Amino acid sequence: MEMIKVVANDINEAQTDQKEDQLLEASDVFTRAKHPVTLKFEDIVYKIKMKKGFYGSNKKIEEKAILKGITGMVKPGEMLAMLGPSGCGKTTLLTALGGRLGRINGRITYNGKPFSNQMTRNTGFVTQEDVLSPYLTVTETMVFTALLQLPNRFTEKEKIKCAEAVMTELGLSECKNSLIGGPLTRGVSGGERKRVSIGQEILINPSLLFLDEPTSGLDSTIAQQILSILLKLANGGRTIVMTIHQPSNMLYYMFHKVLLLSEGYPLYSGEASGAMNYFASIGYCPSVPTNPSDFLLDLASGMPSNGSWKEQALVKQTLISQYEKKSCRQIEG
Ligand SMILES: Nc1ncnc2c1ncn2[C@@H]1O[C@H](COP(=O)(O)OP(=O)(O)OP(=O)(O)O)[C@@H](O)[C@H]1O
């Protein structure tokens, strides 16, 4: 009975979705979100089972916690950055929030409801590795995606118009006839490849967009271009969540929210502009002016920035144990 209700609900929502879609001009895809989404996650815990010991030895299964109680919220119009050292659980959390991870403990809601088929249609996910055919041009890639992904009520001409509109917005017109390329064929630049990957996901006008390291391997100017595009999408009422490695000062302040992870623990979850004040209020501040993301990463990874290795590792352990005792719980919940 419950299952029937869920399916019926999905159908109703899909019908509403369809009606609202009809009101959209094909080229409107970039400008406004169809169904703005507030994403909330509470006490997310994710554990995996691992085999302990070498092949042939006494193999035991042990449990390893990857995410250890993460809470946060992102509203329409906001961009959330997940920061933290390599292996701290950023991609795992992103995958969980994108409804792509199996059994997790905790609660993730999208406008107060669990993940549904309707949400799948309203969500875009840009993976770290671009999955593109090296032998197609930018236009061919975008048009092909538009023809496949856009609903049949759009005519072929409208689908092509959508692809063109998205390419123009993403600044891909200059390279529209260039091959994507790959390891064996020369093609578009890294920044252009990333914009094509983002373009493929935003063709369906998702209101919730996840991106895994969208600026990885790009220089700071191109990284800023990509974030400006994402900020523009957020300003259209979308909810944007991404993992990012060490953003520059300028990029850091483009984010509304920040989630700092260390070994699967959340050290901070809240306004990006409030992170430095928060750590200062509990006794941690840089002794010289520092880029906030450098400072936060040093705290989370136990790397020495101003103090010695030993002191810094101690700071990280103190923050984690404070979190465990719930005396330094995240700002937001
Ligand atoms: N299915 C799995 N089996 C074994 N280990 C896993 C699995 N999924 C995640 N892990 C481990 O969990 C930890 C977090 O991985 P995750 O990819 O989320 O880190 P990350 O913060 O995104 O790292 P990076 O910045 O290097 O991409 C890592 O130590 C990883 O090896």
273-287 confidence digits (pLDDT tens): 999 999 888 888 887
Distance between CA atoms of residues 46 and 66, nearest Å? 6
Q: Are 307 and 290 in contact (CB under 8 A)?
A: no
Relative to the CA of 264, which ligand 1 atom is closest? Answer: 14
Relative to the CA of 94, which ligand 1 atom is closest? Answer: 18
227-249 confidence digits (pLDDT tens): 998 999 999 999 999 999 889 99
Ligand 1 binding pocket mutation candidate from 44, 50, 66, 83 (most atoms within 8 A of CB) = 66
* Cβ contacts of 32 within 8 Å, gap of 6 or more: 236, 237
Relative to the CA of 261, which ligand 1 atom is closest? Answer: 21
| pTM assigned to the model | 0.84
Rounded to the nearest whole angstrom, what is the distance from the C-alpha of residue 251 to the centroid of ligand 1? 25
pLDDT at 323: 67
Rounded to the nearest whole angstrom, what is the distance from the C-alpha of residue 280 to the centroid of ligand 1? 30
Rounded to the nearest whole angstrom, what is the distance from the C-alpha of residue 165 to the centroid of ligand 1? 37
155-173 confidence digits (pLDDT tens): 999 999 999 989 988 889 9
Q: Are 180 and 132 in contact (CB under 8 A)?
A: yes
24-78 confidence digits (pLDDT tens): 454 555 667 889 999 999 999 999 988 766 665 566 778 889 999 999 999 999 9
Ligand 1 binding pocket mutation candidate from 63, 91, 100, 216 (most atoms within 8 A of CB) = 91
Confidence check: pLDDT of 5 > 80: no
Q: Report residues whose beta carbon is within 6 angstroms of any ligand 1 atom.
A: 48, 66, 84, 86-92, 243
Handedness of CA 232, 238, 239, 244 (dihedral sign): negative
